[in-house]
A and B are shown apart, each in its own frame.
Chain A
Amino acid sequence: DAGVIQSPRHEVTEMGQEVTLRCKPISGHDYLFWYRQTMMRGLELLIYFNNNVPIDDSGMPEDRFSAKMPNASFSTLKIQPSEPRDSAVYFCASTTRTGGPQPQHFGDGTRLSIL
């Protein structure tokens, strides 16, 4: 059974460029979360979706960040324009609440470096 799949694993780009991170949740999971991990702030929730609909985007740092979930099997997190302070590891996670709360399953993360 495939887990949460994120791509790319690593991304290095220059300041000002557009960055797109991708996530494929586990089939059947109806919740999808985007998290960011930095040394200074640890892990933080950016946004989450339920049934492809954004529920809480209060963690999105600013308008340069946007996230979409066009269907149940795909989500993107976009940064435009990117800045050096966006350098972090970005994790996607998915879960379902069928039958009650369930653990979240995390992807391997995308390590993003903005030069």
Chain B
Amino acid sequence: KNEVEQSPQNLTAQEGEFITINCSYSVGISALHWLQQHPGGGIVSLFMLSSGKKKHGRLIATINIQEKHSSLHITASHPRDSAVYICAVAGGADGLTFGKGTHLIIQP
């Protein structure tokens, strides 16, 4: 079974700061997902990666398959980015295995 570790667990930053959230996993995967969950809210898929780097607006996700590591970056962070960010991995046709999430608070 894949073990998914995220760091940090909690992160508080000031508006405008560059944010990095890390994710590592133990077993080879077919894809890695970054998800966002607002308090009391649903889950939204931000990225799905199997290699390289993807960018969407102020969000950037990278993955290093050899090192079994991925990072999610937020540039020019804003209070509306405050949420839980969850890393999840997929192996073959399986459902997702999730990290515990990173609780991000961006203060004005």
Contact = CB atoms under 8 A, between A and B. Distances in A.
A44 B97 CA distance: 7
A55 interface: yes
B97 A101 contact: no
A44 B98 contact: yes
Contacts of A97: 93
A105 B45 contact: yes
A109 B43 CA distance: 9
Nearest to B99: A42
- Say which size band chain A's interface belongs to: 20 to 34
Contacts of B35: 106
Interface string A39-56: 000111100101000011
B94 A56 contact: yes
The SS class assigned to the B binding surface is: strand
B53 to A, nearest CB: 17
Interface string B69-104: 000000000000000001010100111111111000
A109 B98 CA distance: 16
A48 B96 CA distance: 10
Contacts of B97: 45
A56 B100 CA distance: 22
A106 B31 contact: no
Contacts of A104: 33, 45, 96
Interface of B: 30-31, 33, 35, 41-45, 48, 50, 86, 88, 90, 93-101
The 5 A-B residue pairs with the shortest CB-CB distance, nearest first, are: A45-B95, A103-B45, A43-B98, A106-B43, A108-B42
